Amino acid sequence: MPPPITRRDILRTMGSGFGLLSMAGTAAHGGSSLDPKPTHFPARAKHVIYLFLNGGPSQVDTFDPKPMLTRYHGKAAPSGNLKTERKTGNLLKSPFEFKRGGQSGLEISEIFPGLVRHSDDLCVIRSMYTALPNHEPSLFMLNCGHILPGHPSMGSWLTYGLGTLNRNLPGFVVLCPGLPVIGPQLWTSSYLPGVYQGVHIRNQETDPEKLIPNLRNTGLSDADQRAQLDLVAQLNRRQLDRTGPDPQLEAGIASMEIAYRMQTEAMDAFDIRREPQAVRDRYGDSDFQRGCLMARRLVERGVRMVQVYYGNGQPWDNHDDIMIHRKLGNEVDKSITALLDDLKATGLFNETIVIIGGEFGRTPSVEVSGLVNVQNGRDHNNHGFSVAVAGGGFKGGLAYGATDDFGFKAVENRVHPHDLHATVLHQLGLDHTRLTYRYSGRDFRLTDVEGNVVKPLLS
Amino acid sequence: MSDAQPLRKLVCVFAASALWAAPMARAADPAEFFEMRVRPVLAKNCLPCHTASKMGGLDMSSREALLSGGKSGPAILPGNPDASLLHQAVTHTHARLKMPPTGKLTETEVADIAAWIKDGAVWPAKAQPAGGQQWWAFQPVRRPELPRVRNQAGVRTGIDRFIAAKYEEKDLKPAPQASRQTLLRRVTLDLTGLPPTPAELDGFLRDRSPQAYERVVDRLLSSRHYGERWGRYWLDLARYSDDKLNSTQDEPYPNAHRYRDWVIDALNNDMPYDVFVKAQIAGDLLPEKDRLAAGTGFYSLSPEFQDDRVDATTRGFLALTVACARCHDHKFDPIPTRDYYSLQGVFASSEKDELPLAPGDRVKAWKEHKERIEKAEEEIKEFLKSQATALAEVLAARTSDYLLERETETLDQEILERWRAFVKLKHDYPFLKPWQDAVARQAPRAELEKIAAEIQEQAVAVQTERKKIEETNLIRLGGSKKRGDLAAADLLSLERDKYFFWRQLYGENKIDDNLDSGVLYLKEKKLERFLAGPFGAHLGRLRASLETLKKTLPEQYPFLHTMKDSAKPHNVKIQIRGNRETLGDEAPRQFLTSLSGGAPKPFAQGSGRLELAEAIANPANPLTARVMVNRVWLGHFGTGLVRTPSNFGRLGEQPSHPELLDYLAGRLMDQGWSLKKLHREIVLSAVYQLSSAPREDNMRADAANRHLWRANRRRLDFEALRDSLLAAGGSLDATAGGKPVPLTAADNHRRTVYGFVSRRRLDNNFLLFDFPNPNATSEYREVTDTALQRLYFLNSTLVEAQSKALAKRLENAAPENPARIREAYRILFGREPGKTEVEIGTGFLAASRNAWPRYTQALMASNEFLFID
């Protein structure tokens, strides 16, 4: 891989300028870039892979075993049910067994057999909570740090804060075959410059040409396109000679060269067909499973953050029948395990934060509302849920925080999404209180005016 | 901004307060103790309601204020915590006062407050910034004298006097005047979003009269394309969208474009800006309702999931961030929390409405017709469901025959096939397992018969049980299944295994690729085979009647998205710290305190929207005209005189040329709020006509060009870029107005302002080139330069098609390459090529065959095309 061309390279090769370029202001609000930027303090991790199980996975069926729930199955919760979106009834035990794995003996549901094997790599936060039991505000909170639309996503913030390690690829990639609920608002750069927007790849395709708009020129040979670009470069340089130095024009010249190389590099990075069949088999061939493999390839090539949505809409939203969690769980377990295995094999595990979780959890009580056909499922639950994190300096084999006896509400060492965001940024070398952007006269942050780094999660 | 520093530091203290997990030894210095331990607690928990809002009459912003106290008396008695109301309230030892309302403070916080009171309640004086009301933006618009400038060269208009005065003050030398070609391209793109045509270029270059440029400006301002360009910028503020941010599916607003077109027409007709503002806030309440009500689309097309109307109103028209005061008094501007809820009450007393653009009987007829269709559809659905269920029950009674394939001549072949497919499936409930096991081990016939009989019994029983549950549930729901009730209803269901058994026999939903519904539940054609005689005839009649109804449904009448006052306008209560569970005093519907010249008068008419509109579009309002002048300036120079165009408050920036801003605001109001006159005055100024050439000496003093000693080179925004590409290819469809067209539609060659704007799925091309997010009001366009954007020039179908179209156009325009190259430069860059440029072109074209489209594409991909110089 050739090193990325920097603005300085371009200027050096052109030998132009008054020596004042560093002072030259651009018009209006330009001047943003994907160049790597210094961190606030030494970083522990460089990348994030956010595996988003959209719909709301149930904590008591995945990462938060509750013996009391089993004991009181079919009975009313002694302290009553918390208010959630819909009417719920008596307690409903998990149909799944929990298994202990690794040295730590961390308990994880049998629907994740591979993760049980990875117990010592997982940092399970069992005390997450958000404000509202509805998908939209909770999706916004987990992704953008606010319950309302119109704020930049975490991926945009950290690309803004860190730049990317490979300018021939986008810094923040979002994989979803169609759209999760709410859609592009979840990876928007909003008031941050558009360069930090998540690039949404509809990964039901495997051919990179179909994945990325304008990636391939169908009409020109490579030689013809190179000749054409040489002409563009020649015209641009002549213009620059005429106008005198202008960082905007110079950035444009650099972008054009990067675009040219991106045609080749992205074709490679996004093409999972280049993986050996044995590797593809380990991950599996569903959209999410291929997404995990693509995420690995992208991170290996320097992409800062990859977010893989489980699927369109909200597949984990099992109001009716919690048994569906088994099928979903087995599917994601296969590829997450393969991903963790590969990251560990290459050493990338230490510098990649893998987050596994949804927008909220589910009630330990059974849903009895008129919107379900069968009463074997669970309603949304914002009061308590689990998120698992692996790699990037998070402490493995740890269960942090706790919900109450039945798994309804986070009661011990509560962790808000702001805290999770602050901690993730911290591992990336960013102080969440200093990662600000001035917009409309105010400094905005991913964590608003809240958030604490949760030190006990870190090794 | 240096005077705001202490306050900003304070905010950091607020934010950091949560970090004090470890107890801190009592500081020796009482002032430090207060700053570190007490002020953050007060700021976070008390000040939101007890500064400008003075809940309970108590202001807690200073020691003096605490001493004078509120309705219940002094809040502190220094030296005696137990006797201090503040302490009693936070310890919940007072009979009535238990604070804060959102939940008790931690023990440490309470102890700190006690210690602080005991030590004498030391509250160090801070250098306070000048009172909020003194801020420049709240001062009346002045009509400043034109400054005297020593060097009159290059001064053309009043604007230039203000600009030149700054040059002299800062010792800056203005760049030379831009060339005529550069100027023509600049002003044409600025005012219309389209490049000048070669004919316009020739016309301008030929016209040597001193009025040549003025004539161009007047031509452009009277072009319809002016409104299309500048209307779009207004739509950025109005967060315009052609659909809703529906969380699960696309949901277009089929009539939203009528607001978009109203905005464009209003600008083209030079509707006075004060009327334009009033129409958008309260057009439905104005005498000229027919012409102006469409403006209220500003609110009726508001984003979903939030009420941002106060925010869009105050930032959009007034550049004030009143929404910051939702949870606490504004920390920097004189905006108490009450003001937010005063305005919120105005909008809470208003509703979305639709104003049909058709006679009442047509509207009524359409609605009735539509209802009949829905009823007929429902009737057919119900009929089919009841027939399918009845048939399923009949078939269930022969379950064992189908399982055993007994008396096959009396069995229905299709149903038999369904059973065969069904028993092969893996089921995650136990009912069919005995059968599957018995078949697998080839059990004797008698055993199979016994099992089949049991399954039949269960199949019948599960339907009986299900029906009973449904009846009970219907009673629990009071006989009606309205969706709103369902979420909260406490209902019964079959137990899980039975439910799935039931669903796979009797349910409507797909089971498997071979079974599009439950085994016994037949749909459509499959069911109709069984509907003989009067049943079939009945279905036929229902369907025919529905068909006729559908065919005769006329197109829906057009309507405007508008607003109306609610039947019962009401005030809302202040939500303490923005929490809807803890309500405070009622906030009367009225205008902002700081803009009312004293205590605001409560609104008296309906919701108060009309009075709000009058208050905003009022010449005495110091903000409205200034804010709009600044937006227009921004559009022409790439940066505003105030660089935070939607925030003129203390956290915004101060104007670079305050007197010029006032001069132009005054001119706007004095000239009948005419925006076209404002544009004209700006583009006729000398400063607008400067070249963008840098000067080393100026760069040292003002590299950011804050004082406009040269023109800013600006990247085309997406609309101007796409429209210019289409214009260059000769493909632009200049049709005005009407329904939005997706940008991805193959033959969409209309101006980009007519492209479909989606809140849910904004077109990739918009995203690529920094189009603003239609979910929130947007004050300016971000400008980025990315490799993905350049890929658009290399490989997008649009650029490819337009480069070919331009090549074709040139082929027809001239016989020889040099002449064609010349024409290409005139079309794309608005200038003649130099000799070397022609040589470079001919060289490229000679190097390979069919190189013309590659050449035109290269020109389109060059910086010169992408930037306004």
A268-288: per-residue pLDDT in tens?
999 999 999 999 999 999 999
Q: Check A27 against B861: CB less than 8 A apart.
A: no
Find chain A residues with C-beta within 8 A of B508's C-beta: none
Domain encompassing residue A453: 44-212+276-457
d(CA B690, CA B674): 25
A338 and A319 assigned to the same domain: yes
Q: Give the pairing of strands A378-381 and A361-367.
A: antiparallel
**Interface test with chain B among A5, A16, A18, A26, by most B beta carbons within 10 Å:** A26
Q: How close A255 gets to chain B, by Cα (Å)?
A: 5
In a domain, residue A346? The reply is yes
A205 and A219 assigned to the same domain: no
Residue with more model confidence, A258 or A308: A308
d(CA B244, CA B339): 29
In a domain, residue B172? The reply is no
d(CA B431, CA B499): 11
pLDDT for B105: 86
Does the pLDDT at position A4 exceed 70?
no
In a domain, residue A382? The reply is yes
pLDDT for B8: 31
Q: Check B486 against A369: CB less than 8 A apart.
A: yes
B519 and B374 assigned to the same domain: yes
| Contact residues, A window 368-427, toward B, CB-based 8 Å cutoff | 368-376
A76 to chain B, any CB pair closer than 8 A? The answer is no
A148 to chain B, any CB pair closer than 8 A? The answer is yes
B29 and B117 assigned to the same domain: yes
pLDDT for A9: 39
What residue spans of B553-608 are helical by DSSP H?
none
Query: Cβ contacts of residue A426 below 8 Å, gap of 6+?
Result: A432, A453, A458
d(CA B736, CA B750): 9
In a domain, residue A134? The reply is yes
Last residue of a domain, one of B108, B129, B150: B129
Tokens standing for residue B847: 């190097």
Which amino acid is residue B413, in one-letter code? Answer: Q
In a domain, residue B57? The reply is yes
Domain encompassing residue B333: 273-354+563-618
B494 and B407 assigned to the same domain: yes
* CB neighbours of residue A35 within 10 Å: 13
A1 to chain B, any CB pair closer than 8 A? The answer is no
Residue with more model confidence, A26 or B368: B368
A224 and A312 assigned to the same domain: no
Omega into B430 within 30° of 0, i.e. cis?
Answer: no
Does the pLDDT at position A29 exceed 70?
no
In a domain, residue A12? The reply is no
A226 and A372 assigned to the same domain: no
Q: Check B863 against A368: CB less than 8 A apart.
A: no
A3 to chain B, any CB pair closer than 8 A? The answer is no
B512 and B568 assigned to the same domain: no
Tokens standing for residue B319: 């550049």
Q: How close A240 gets to chain B, by Cα (Å)?
A: 9
In a domain, residue B802? The reply is yes
Contact B680, B217 (CB under 8 A): yes
Last residue of a domain, one of A269, A303, A336: A269
In a domain, residue A373? The reply is yes
Q: Read off the pLDDT of each residue in A110-135 and give the average, rounded to a whole number.
A: 96
* CB neighbours of residue A11 within 10 Å: 17
Q: Check B788 against A259: CB less than 8 A apart.
A: yes
In a domain, residue A307? The reply is yes
pLDDT for B718: 95
A189 and A228 assigned to the same domain: no
In a domain, residue A446? The reply is yes
Cα four-point dihedral sign B24, A443, A160, A19:
negative
Percent of chain A with pLDDT over 70: 92
Last residue of a domain, one of B129, B146, B176: B129
B511 and B422 assigned to the same domain: yes
pLDDT for B608: 97
d(CA B767, CA B231): 20
In a domain, residue B210? The reply is no
A188 and A156 assigned to the same domain: yes
Q: Check B18 against A452: CB less than 8 A apart.
A: yes
B391 and B532 assigned to the same domain: yes
A328 and A380 assigned to the same domain: yes
What total number of domains does chain A contain?
A: 2
Q: Give the pairing of strands A305-309 and A172-175.
A: parallel
pLDDT for A2: 40
Q: Check B784 against A194: CB less than 8 A apart.
A: yes
For chain B (length 869 residues), average pLDDT per consecutive 10? 33 30 48 78 80 80 86 88 91 87 82 88 63 84 94 91 95 96 98 98 96 98 98 97 86 95 98 98 96 97 85 96 85 89 97 94 95 96 96 96 94 95 92 95 96 96 96 88 78 93 95 93 92 93 96 93 97 85 91 92 97 97 98 96 91 91 98 98 98 91 92 96 98 96 92 95 84 85 80 94 97 94 98 97 94 97 96
Provide the mean pLDDT of chain A: 89
Tokens standing for residue A223: 């030689």
A189 and A222 assigned to the same domain: no
Q: Check B784 against A195: CB less than 8 A apart.
A: yes
pLDDT for B126: 56
A204 and A247 assigned to the same domain: no
Query: Nearest by CB to B477, which of A214, A219, A370?
Result: A370
In a domain, residue B110? The reply is yes
Query: Cβ contacts of residue A149 below 8 Å, gap of 6+?
Result: A140, A182, A185, B245, B303, B305, B306, B775, B776
d(CA A141, CA A108): 26
In a domain, residue A301? The reply is yes
Using a cut of 0.80, tell me whether the model's pTM lies above it.
no
**DSSP one-letter code for A352:** E
Q: Quickly tell me which residue has 């849910």 as its tokens.
A: B760
- CA nearest A185: which of A149, A221, A142, A215? A149
- Conformational region of residue B401, where left means phi above 0, alpha means psi within -120 to 50, and beta covers everything else: alpha
Contact A447, A183 (CB under 8 A): no
Last residue of a domain, one of B526, B550, B574: B550
Contact B619, B214 (CB under 8 A): no
Residue A231 parent element (H or E):
helix A222-243
B393 and B523 assigned to the same domain: yes
Q: Check A370 against B492: CB less than 8 A apart.
A: no
B319 and B375 assigned to the same domain: no
B427 and B533 assigned to the same domain: yes
Residue B592 parent element (H or E):
none
Query: Cβ contacts of residue A417 below 8 Å, gap of 6+?
Result: A128, A130, A141, A142, A145
d(CA B522, CA B505): 10
pLDDT for B171: 94
A452 to chain B, any CB pair closer than 8 A? The answer is yes
d(CA B75, CA B68): 7
Query: Nearest by CB to B248, which of A23, A30, A181?
Result: A181
B383 and B449 assigned to the same domain: yes
How far CA A2 is from CA of A217, B526, B868, in Å, comes to: 22, 64, 33
In a domain, residue B333? The reply is yes
Backbone dihedral angles phi then psi of residue B515, each to the nearest 5 degrees: -125, 105
In a domain, residue B26? The reply is yes
The residue of chain B with its CA nearest to that of A17 is B696
| Contact residues, A window 78-97, toward B, CB-based 8 Å cutoff | 85-87, 89
A352 and A208 assigned to the same domain: yes
A16 to chain B, any CB pair closer than 8 A? The answer is no
Q: Check B487 against A87: CB less than 8 A apart.
A: yes
Contact B562, B297 (CB under 8 A): yes
Direct distance between the N- and C-terminal alpha carbons of chain B, in angstroms, rounded to an integer: 32
Q: Read off the pLDDT of each residue in A54-66 and give the average, rounded to a whole number.
A: 98
Contact B481, B474 (CB under 8 A): yes
A410 and A325 assigned to the same domain: yes
A73 and A208 assigned to the same domain: yes
**Interface test with chain A among B506, B794, B857, by most A beta carbons within 10 Å:** B794
B512 and B404 assigned to the same domain: yes
What total number of domains does chain B contain?
A: 4
Q: Check A183 against B760: CB less than 8 A apart.
A: yes
**Interface test with chain B among A140, A173, A256, A359, by most B beta carbons within 10 Å:** A256
SS3 letters across A114-142: HHHHCHHHEEEEEEECCCCCCHHHHHHHH
Residue B398 parent element (H or E):
none
Find chain B residues with C-beta within 8 A of A88's C-beta: none
Q: Angle between the B273-282 and B309-318 helix axes, to the nearest 10 degrees?
A: 170
Q: Check B481 against A370: CB less than 8 A apart.
A: yes
Length of chain A: 459
SS3 letters across B778-847: CCCCCCCCCHHHHHHHHHCHHHHHHHHHHHHHHHHHCCCHHHHHHHHHHHHHCCCCCHHHHHHHHHHHHH
B318 and B432 assigned to the same domain: no
* CB neighbours of residue B450 within 10 Å: 15
In a domain, residue B785? The reply is no
3-state DSSP assignment of residue B707: coil
Q: Which CATH number covers residue A118?
A: 3.40.720.10
Query: Cβ contacts of residue A361 below 8 Å, gap of 6+?
Result: A56, A57, A58, A59, A60, A128, A380, A381, A382, A384, A385, A386, A407
Q: Check B493 against A263: CB less than 8 A apart.
A: no
| Contact residues, A window 210-269, toward B, CB-based 8 Å cutoff | 213-220, 224-225, 227-229, 231-232, 234-236, 238-240, 243-246, 248-249, 251-253, 255-256, 258-260, 262-263
Query: Cβ contacts of residue B181 below 8 Å, gap of 6+?
Result: B201, B205, B830, B831, B832
Q: Check A87 against B488: CB less than 8 A apart.
A: yes
Which amino acid is residue B131, in one-letter code? Answer: G
What residue spans of B622-674 are helical by DSSP H?
624-637, 658-670
A184 to chain B, any CB pair closer than 8 A? The answer is yes
Length of chain B: 869
